[in-house]
Amino acid sequence: MAERMGPADFFELVKAYAKQETVEPLRGAGRWVGFGIAGSLLLMLGGISLTLAMLRVLQEETGTSFTGNLSWVPYLATLVAAIVVLVLLVWRITKRSL
């Protein structure tokens, strides 16, 4: 015949099951969350660096094209490019698959 389970045994069984189904998967997910955060930070730093590089190229490598009254044009061009990239990113992130 099967043995009857007492309240203490039942509590231990529930505790072991809860640990198996919650704590252990979260430990594995923590690693992936860490990689995701690290990757996001690196992409953010890369985006900032590329934006500043674009601004410096427009300021330095265009000769006297953007001097005097047109000194604001490199800033506007860089801002527009950054906005376009952000809009494309948001569009791809929120795009729903059929």
Give the total number of structural domains in the chain: 1
In this structure, what are the phi and psi dihedrals at residue 6, rounded to the nearest 5 degrees? Answer: -85, 170
Confidence at 98, pLDDT banded by 50, 70, 90: low
Is there a domain that residue 52 lies in? yes
SS3 content of the chain, % helix, strand, coil (to 5): 80, 0, 20
State how far the Cα of 31 lies from the Cα of 52, in Å rounded to an integer. Answer: 32
Instruction: Give 85's pLDDT tier (boundaries 50, 70, 90).
Output: very high
pLDDT of 18 reads 84
Which residues touch 66 (CB under 8 Å, ≥6 apart)?
A: 58, 59, 73, 74
Domain assignment present for 1: no
Q: Is 44 contained in some domain?
A: yes
Asked if residue 2 is part of any domain, the answer here is no
| Domain carrying residue 62 | 7-94
DSSP letter for 97, please.
Answer: P
Q: If you average pLDDT over residues 20-38, what whole number do you get?
A: 84
Whole-prediction pTM value? 0.66
Q: How confident is the model at residue 16 (pLDDT cuts 50, 70, 90)?
A: confident
Q: Check if the beta carbon of residue 66 is closer than 8 Å to that of residue 58.
A: yes
